[in-house]
Amino acid sequence: MNNYSENVLEKLSSEPKNLWKRILIFLLILSLVIWGNTGSNFNGITEKGMNVAKAILYGITHPETLLLFNWTSKGIPMLLLETISIAFLGTLIGSLLAIPFAFLSATNIVPKWVSLIFRSITMLIRTIPALVWALIWIRVTGPGAFCGVVTQSIASIGMVSKMYITAIENLDTGVLEALDACGCNTLEKIRVGVIPQLSASFISTAIYRFDINLKDATILGIVGAGGIGFPLTDAIANARWNRVGAFVICLVLLVIIIEWISTKIRARLARGRS
Amino acid sequence: MAKTDKTPLFDRVFKPEIITLENGHTVERPKSRVPLILALLLIAIIIASKSTGFDFGLLISRFGQLGVILGKIFNPNWEFFPKVIPPLLGTIKMSIVGTVVGCVLALPISIFASSNINKNKPSLLVIRFIISVVRSLPAIVYAYFFVLVFGLGTFAGSLAIAFFTFGIVAKMLYENIETIDMGPYEAMQSFGATTLESFWTACLPQILPQFFDNCLYCFELNVRNSSILGYVGAGGLGLLINERVGLRQYNDVGMILLTIFVVVMTIDLVNDWIRSKIV
């Protein structure tokens, strides 16, 4: 009995003592936060700010229900449809455009220098934020939902191709060798050896990106690229909080529902067809 | 009869092909779902193209314009660099404060949102729903609200980033907590330790590396994202980008984007180094 407790105590005392290290890390983070706060302009909440906050909360809890059943292009159903359409087309085109990029950056398919070139291109695409892409494309297509579609098609390539690359580099080449041994030609090898291995993860990635694009599509309207973003910011700027409330509630519900559906589909894809 | 209940609707409408093998056994081959999916996809594409006014011709006829803009962006104006530094620091400060505040708030909440610690189903669902709601609004919408309440500047931006970070980190964290090994926790409970004590000594050490990993990931995301928050007046680089795009000074925009690129790359490298230390 005594022996056991001695063992435990011995084990405990042999554990590394990290106290100083932890204090140091804590101080480092604390000093970073203090430095980060130096430029901050917080000088108490003003009377006016308080009133605005109250108005916002009141508006969100008392949404304008009329907008929900307004079937013109200014009503919420049409705006939501437009937002979903932007995300859907953007994701579809983006995930198709990403396929050649991914194959040309996979190290098990092309030489190293080719993959390096295409990886840097996708990296550059990823660095430019979606909103900035929209500002650039607006000069090409003019304002409107079409600009949103083009923006998302390009902005999706970065992340989607990165995830495709992982799937391609994990390809099981044993299958291809087996097909070779059966005497299959290249086309047949792609049809039964490559596509079944990649399709599930490619589709899963595209659905995941659709989730993200839907969230992005709601803000693209701020710069005039269509969707619900423009009426939302317009309502905020004009302090029509009941309208803002209706937009925000519908937006939140839409995002939550789509996320729930996409998680379900992706879980099913990961398990394989049941 | 029980079997037919489990067959998907699709297989009941389109009967599977029945193949009789040479040895007399029969196997079912379900009809391919690809035509149905393609048809649905096509309908969705048609509806979406109508509602967004998809116009490929416009894209081709004006494509040269994109070349002009991108050409200028990839030819950055180096003299503009000194003007990028102050808002860049603002963006980084905003991201640091927002990330730390959001992550610190997310840790306790995510514990109550994980089904293996919190056995109370209603409170679990309520907390998860709140996290979902917080997560579903984009940071820029928060920033817009906070700018109106707290005035223009980086404080509104920090707060917006904190909300955004909270939503993401709390979700990732409760998913992580649900995969931990509960053995040590149960052992502590059997000693008579309280829930808090057993969580502190048995679960926290398992969660912390993942927690820091999530925080670093989120910080990276925030630096990238917060560069646009200035668009609604929340401080940082966004204001500058907006102004320069408005003036069509794409060489300056190129300089700003290059700076963001270098900063994000640096943070990425530092994060990888920190990660290698943690794991």
Per-residue pLDDT of chain A (274 residues; tens, 9 = 90+): 567 778 878 877 777 667 788 888 888 888 888 887 776 666 666 777 788 888 888 888 878 777 777 777 678 888 888 899 999 999 999 999 999 999 999 888 888 899 899 988 888 888 788 888 888 888 888 888 889 999 999 999 988 998 999 889 888 888 888 888 888 888 888 888 888 888 888 999 999 999 889 988 888 888 888 888 888 888 888 888 888 888 888 888 998 999 899 888 888 887 765 4
Q: Is residue B65 part of a domain?
A: no
The CA distance from B190 to A194, in Å, is 52
Claim to verify: residue B20 and residue B94 sit in the same structural domain: no
Query: Chain A residues with CB inside 8 Å of B6's CB?
Result: none
pLDDT at position B29 is 79
pTM confidence score: 0.82
In the chain, the amino acid numbered A211 is D
**Residue where the block lists tokens 């609604």:** B232
pLDDT digits (tens, 9 = 90+) for A145-174: 889 999 999 999 988 998 999 889 888 888
Check CB contact under 8 Å for B133 and A252. yes
Claim to verify: residue B26 and residue B158 sit in the same structural domain: no
Cβ-Cβ contacts under 8 Å for A244 (sequence gap 6 or more): A56, A59, A60, A232, A235, A236
DSSP B232: G
Check CB contact under 8 Å for A127 and B253. no
For the domain that residue B110 is a member of, what is the CATH number? 1.10.3720.10
Check CB contact under 8 Å for B52 and A252. no
Check CB contact under 8 Å for B149 and A218. no
Q: Is residue B216 part of a domain?
A: yes
pLDDT at position A120 is 87
Q: Is residue B127 part of a domain?
A: yes
The encoded tokens of residue B67 equal 């070349």
The number of folded domains in chain B is 2
pLDDT at position B3 is 46
Nearest by CB to A88, from B48, B55, B253: name it. B48
Q: Is residue B72 part of a domain?
A: no
Query: Which residue in A132, A256, A274 has the most chain B C-beta atoms within 10 A of its own C-beta, making it the best mutation to test that interface?
Result: A132
Q: Is residue B59 part of a domain?
A: no
Claim to verify: residue B44 and residue B134 sit in the same structural domain: no
- Exposed e or buried b for every residue in B113-151, given b needs 16+ CB within 10 A? bbeebbeeeeebeebbeebbbbbbbbbbbbbbbbbbbbb
Indicate if the alpha-carbon torsion angle B205, B210, B213, B218 is positive or negative. Answer: negative
pLDDT digits (tens, 9 = 90+) for A75-85: 888 888 889 99
pLDDT at position A274 is 43
Query: Chain B residues with CB inside 8 Å of A140's CB?
Result: 59, 62-63, 65-66, 69
Digit-by-digit pLDDT tens for chain B (279 residues) are 444 456 677 777 777 778 888 887 888 777 788 888 889 999 988 888 888 888 777 778 777 778 888 888 888 888 888 888 888 888 888 899 999 999 999 988 998 888 888 888 899 999 999 999 998 888 888 888 888 888 877 888 889 999 999 999 999 999 888 888 888 888 888 888 887 888 888 888 888 888 888 898 899 888 888 888 888 877 778 888 888 888 888 888 888 888 888 888 888 888 888 888 776
Q: Is residue B107 part of a domain?
A: yes
CA distances from B97 to A30, A34, A121, A146, A174 (A): 10, 8, 31, 37, 50
The encoded tokens of residue B38 equal 């393609």
Classify B26 as helix, strand or coil. strand
Claim to verify: residue B19 and residue B155 sit in the same structural domain: no
Check CB contact under 8 Å for B133 and A256. yes
The CA distance from A83 to A217, in Å, is 6
Claim to verify: residue B190 and residue B249 sit in the same structural domain: yes
Is the separation of the CB atoms in A148 and A226 below 8 Å?
Answer: yes
Check CB contact under 8 Å for A256 and B63. no
Claim to verify: residue B220 and residue B149 sit in the same structural domain: yes
pLDDT at position B154 is 82
Claim to verify: residue B190 and residue B154 sit in the same structural domain: yes
In the chain, the amino acid numbered A79 is L
Nearest by CB to A85, from B47, B137, B150: name it. B47
pLDDT at position A97 is 93
Claim to verify: residue B43 and residue B86 sit in the same structural domain: no
pLDDT at position A136 is 84
- Number of Cβ pairs < 8 A linking chain A and chain B: 160
Q: What is the nearest CA distance from B184 to chain A, expressed in angstroms?
A: 15
Nearest CA in chain B to A145: B52
Instruction: Classify burial at A120, counting beta carbons within 10 Å of its beta carbon; exposed 0-12, middle 13-18, buried 19 or more.
Output: exposed
Q: Is residue B70 part of a domain?
A: no
Claim to verify: residue B257 and residue B126 sit in the same structural domain: yes
pLDDT at position A98 is 93
Claim to verify: residue B88 and residue B26 sit in the same structural domain: no
The ipTM (two decimal places) reads 0.79
Claim to verify: residue B143 and residue B261 sit in the same structural domain: yes
Claim to verify: residue B12 and residue B91 sit in the same structural domain: no
Q: What is the nearest CA distance from A253 to chain B, expressed in angstroms?
A: 8
Q: Is residue B109 part of a domain?
A: yes
Look up the domain containing B147 and give its range.
79-278
Task: Give the other-Cβ count within 10 Å of A3's Cβ.
Answer: 7
